[in-house]
């Protein structure tokens, strides 16, 4: 399972690098498409790893992640469903706030996920040391 998590983490880092590198070529379209793909990927990853976060004592961090995701998705849905009811300038401002939030949430998830992987690796190493002494 640790290997799959490392592959997942490295894949997310590669995608983040591609998103950033696509900005000069594809402008904001590449950034937004990459952010959408990364957001979906991270939601699936977080859903599958929430239990591991909780068991490793990182309940607060994963709860913060989920709260931020819910808030950000709420802003995006407000933009989408109130497109005609709210002035376009306000909708655009809300959209860019949500997009900035999504990028920050992606960085936050990568940070806490890296810490989780380090914890699991250290725990496995310590388990191996204690088993070899018996």
48-99 tens-digit pLDDT? 999 999 999 999 999 999 999 999 999 999 888 887 788 888 888 999 999 9
pLDDT of 41: 97
Q: In this predicted structure, what is the pLDDT of residue 67?
A: 98
Q: Categorize the per-residue pLDDT at 47 as very low, low, confident or very high, splitting at 50, 70 and 90.
A: very high
Could you give the number of structural domains in the chain? 1
DSSP class per residue in 1-35? -HHHHHHHHHHHHHHHHHHHHHHHHHHHHHHHHHH
User: According to the model, what pLDDT value does residue 133 have?
Assistant: 61
Residue 28 has pLDDT above 60, yes or no: yes
Range of the domain at 6: 2-133
Contacts of 75 (CB under 8 A, 6+ apart): 94, 95, 97, 98, 101
Is the pLDDT higher at 6 or at 86? 6
Query: Is 0.75 topped by the overall pTM?
Result: yes
């Amino acid at each position: 399972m640790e290997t799959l998590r490392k592959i997942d983490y490295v894949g997310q880092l590669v995608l983040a690098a591609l998103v950033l590198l696509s900005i000069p070529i594809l402008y904001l379209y590449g950034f937004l498409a990459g952010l959408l793909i990364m957001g979906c990927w991270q939601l699936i990853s977080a859903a599958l790893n929430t239990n591991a976060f909780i068991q490793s004592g990182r309940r607060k961090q994963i709860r913060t992640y989920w709260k931020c995701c819910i808030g950000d998705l709420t802003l995006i849905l407000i933009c989408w469903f109130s497109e005609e009811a709210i002035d376009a300038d306000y909708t655009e401002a809300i959209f860019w706030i949500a997009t900035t939030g999504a990028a920050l949430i992606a960085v936050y998830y990568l940070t806490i996920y890296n810490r989780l992987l380090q914890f699991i690796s250290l725990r496995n190493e310590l388990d191996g040391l204690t088993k070899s002494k018996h």
